[in-house]
């Protein structure tokens, strides 16, 4: 090989190596929340994805978002992770028909670049706190509190108007003001529309993708992932006082899926699943208590209850609702144990249904137990409870088959004539007994046992 050819080959190898290095660096990671609530499991999922994308020096991480909302504590954790990320984080509300409701608004505002697909919407920013505060059936009850926010921002507000806010619940006002300040800080940092951000919290305002771009809530409307990468290409993003330019036009998208553990526990974060597990746990323990021995139903009941209580840790659980559910089941048990003429059944069903409705404290419908599930479970619980405990009561009341109790009231035939104060012989319960009676009873006549005196039966004519 000549020296000229050698340098030619070396140059080709160098160019090829540079191309491979460039191709390797042009990678975009993607995570997807498909109609998932924002909960501790999604926090773990997104946080791991950000760390992985950062460690592998990806161009950016895209969070493909479709969520009805979630918990305020979990939302704050995700927002803090995005704000402290070493790589650009892009929130893409997609595919068409998706929405970023409630907590999704905060995550969108925290992103370095926000995008939406056609026919999507964003708004109604009212994440839910964990805890047992009484549930508000509608966000409309918070609308009164928006006046307080407006009055604080309006320098010319009157003293009488300030006095009106003192009658509001201080805790509600504190949560609202803190949430408003939270989203205003993000809007200012990301140079997004502050006024609409406040309105989305105080008035549950919701807008389409076109309105969102016009109002400066998002920067991009992209019809699909490829279109998004094209529009992201060349954008300069400031991260920790450093300007990073995205090269995404020809980037390869690598999707990060939830691992098996995250998928399993994310399913448990569904209120309907948590509620069904809770009821199944009670079923198992109830069956075990009403049947002798400790077997599979009791073990499964304990497992279901443990999983249910784990689920309730990831959901806005109202423990007053849990107490009502337990009271309802106890009342149903009491109906089978004592004749309540239907009073305990009625009270138990009412307590069970009310407790089920109050179990999860959230204004977001998807984070509450659905009414069909509540009604079907309540009726099934009442029926199963009565059947199980009714069987126990019947077994306790069933007449003994042996011994003295088993002979009381039994019928038999006289085998040897019985005379007053003189023993005769009777055949009762498959056995031959000595018997006495207050009257004469001839051989072959039928008798019934009145009582037992030692090994002698006291009988009378049947």
pLDDT digits over 103-159, tens only?
Answer: 999 999 999 999 999 999 999 876 555 444 444 433 333 444 445 445 544 544 443
pLDDT for 388: 64
pLDDT of residue 115: 97
Residue 125 sits in the same domain as residue 256: yes
Boundaries of domain holding 378: 270-397
Based on the fold, state whether residues 328 and 419 are members of the same structural domain: no
Domain boundary among 260, 293, 308: 260
Note the pLDDT of residue 147: 52
Total structural domains within the chain: 3
Residue 452: φ, ψ to 5°: -130, 130
Residues 411, 391 share a domain: no
Same domain, 146 and 180: yes
Classified as helix, coil or strand, 33 is strand
Residues 192 and 287 in one domain: no
> Same domain for 391 and 407?
no
Contact yes or no for 327/307 (Cβ under 8 A): no
- The answer as to whether 93 is a domain residue is yes
Question: Does residue 213 form part of some domain?
Answer: yes
- Of the candidates 281, 279, 349, 365, the one whose C-alpha atom is nearest the C-alpha of residue 316 is 365
Same domain membership, residue 187 and residue 104: yes
Domain shared by 38 and 129, yes or no: yes
Report if residue 56 sits inside a domain.
Answer: yes
CATH code, domain carrying 436:
2.40.50.140
Average pLDDT over residues 362-373: 77
- Tell me, what CATH number does 68's domain have? 3.90.226.10
Q: What is the pLDDT of residue 136?
A: 42
pLDDT at 32 over 90: yes
Q: Give the end of a domain, one of 238, 260, 282.
A: 260
* 404 pLDDT more than 70: no
Are both 391 and 443 inside the same structural domain? no
Do 275 and 254 belong to one domain? no
pLDDT of 224:
94
Least confident segment among 51-55, 64-68, 289-293, 407-411: 289-293
Of 397, 417, 435, at which residue does a domain stop? 397
Least confident of 373-377, 382-386, 389-393: 389-393
Is 221 found in the same domain as 155?
yes
Give the pLDDT of residue 135. Answer: 41
Confidence of residue 310 (pLDDT cuts 50, 70, 90): confident
Angle of the 319-337 helix axis to the 371-397 helix axis, nearest 10: 30
Q: Is residue 265 part of a domain?
A: no
Distance CA 358, CA 372 (A): 15
Give the pLDDT confidence of 235-284 residue by residue, as tens digits: 999 998 899 999 999 899 999 999 999 999 888 888 889 899 998 888 88
DSSP 26: -
Pair 361, 135: CB distance under 8 Å: yes
Q: For residue 421, what pLDDT is reported?
A: 78
* Helix boundaries (H) for 190-259: 194-202, 209-214, 225-232
Average pLDDT over residues 84-91: 95
Per-residue H/E/C for 71-139: EHHHHHHHHHHHHCCCCCEEEEECCCCCEEECHHHHHHHHCCEEEECCCCEEECCCCECCCCCCCCCCH
Give Cα separations from 338 to 53, 330, 341, 344, 351 (angstroms).
64, 12, 9, 9, 19
Average pLDDT, the chain: 80
Report the predicted TM-score, pTM, of the whole model to 2 decimal places: 0.69
Q: Are residues 176 and 245 in the same domain?
A: yes
Residue 221 in domain: yes
Whether residue 252 lies inside any domain: the answer is: yes
139 within some domain: yes
Mean pLDDT in residue range 311-325: 85
The answer to whether residue 338 sits within a structural domain is: yes
């Amino acid at each position: 090989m000549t020296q000229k050819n050698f340098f030619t080959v070396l140059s080709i190898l160098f160019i090829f190596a540079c191309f491979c290095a460039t191709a390797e660096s042009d990678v975009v990671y993607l995570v997807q929340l498909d109609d998932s609530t924002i909960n501790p499991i999604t926090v773990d999922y997104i946080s791991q994805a950000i760390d992985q994308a950062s460690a592998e020096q990806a161009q950016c991480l895209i969070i493909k978002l479709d969520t009805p909302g979630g918990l305020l504590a979990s939302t704050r954790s995700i927002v803090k992770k995005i704000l402290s990320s070493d790589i650009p984080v892009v929130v893409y509300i997609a595919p068409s028909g998706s929405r970023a409701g409630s907590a999704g608004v905060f995550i969108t505002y925290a992103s370095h670049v926000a995008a939406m697909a056609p026919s999507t919407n964003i708004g109604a920013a009212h994440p839910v706190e964990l805890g047992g505060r009484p549930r508000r059936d509608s966000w409309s009850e918070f609308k009164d509190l928006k006046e307080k926010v407006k009055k604080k921002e309006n320098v010319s507000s009157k003293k009488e108007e300030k006095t009106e806010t003192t009658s509001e619940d201080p805790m509600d006002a504190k949560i609202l003001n803190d949430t408003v300040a939270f989203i205003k800080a993000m809007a200012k940092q990301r140079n997004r529309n502050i006024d609409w951000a406040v309105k989305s919290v105080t008035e549950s305002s919701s807008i389409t993708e076109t309105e969102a771009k016009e109002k400066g809530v998002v920067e991009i409307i992209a019809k699909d992932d490829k279109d998004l990468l094209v529009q992201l290409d060349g954008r300069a993003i400031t991260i920790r006082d450093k300007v990073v330019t995205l090269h995404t036009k020809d980037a390869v998208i690598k999707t990060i899926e939830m691992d098996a553990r995250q998928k399993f526990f994310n399913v448990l974060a569904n209120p309907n699943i948590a509620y069904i597990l809770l009821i199944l746990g009670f079923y198992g323990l109830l069956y075990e208590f009403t049947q002798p021995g400790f077997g599979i139903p009791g073990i499964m009941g304990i497992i279901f209850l443990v999983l249910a209580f784990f689920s309730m840790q990831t959901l806005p659980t109202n423990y007053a609702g849990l107490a009502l559910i337990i009271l309802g089941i106890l009342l149903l048990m009491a109906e089978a144990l004592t004749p309540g003429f239907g009073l305990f059944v009625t009270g138990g069903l009412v307590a069970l249904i009310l407790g089920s409705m109050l179990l999860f404290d959230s204004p977001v419908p998807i984070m509450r137990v659905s009414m069909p599930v509540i009604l079907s479970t309540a009726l099934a619980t009442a029926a199963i409870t009565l059947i199980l405990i009714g069987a126990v009561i019947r077994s306790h009341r069933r007449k003994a088959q042996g011994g003295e109790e088993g002979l009381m009231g039994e019928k038999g035939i006289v085998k040897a004539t019985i005379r007053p104060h003189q023993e005769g012989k009777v055949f009762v319960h498959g056995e031959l007994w000595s018997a006495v009676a207050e009257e004469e009873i001839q051989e072959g006549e039928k008798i019934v046992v009145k009582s037992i005196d030692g090994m002698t039966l006291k009988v009378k004519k049947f």
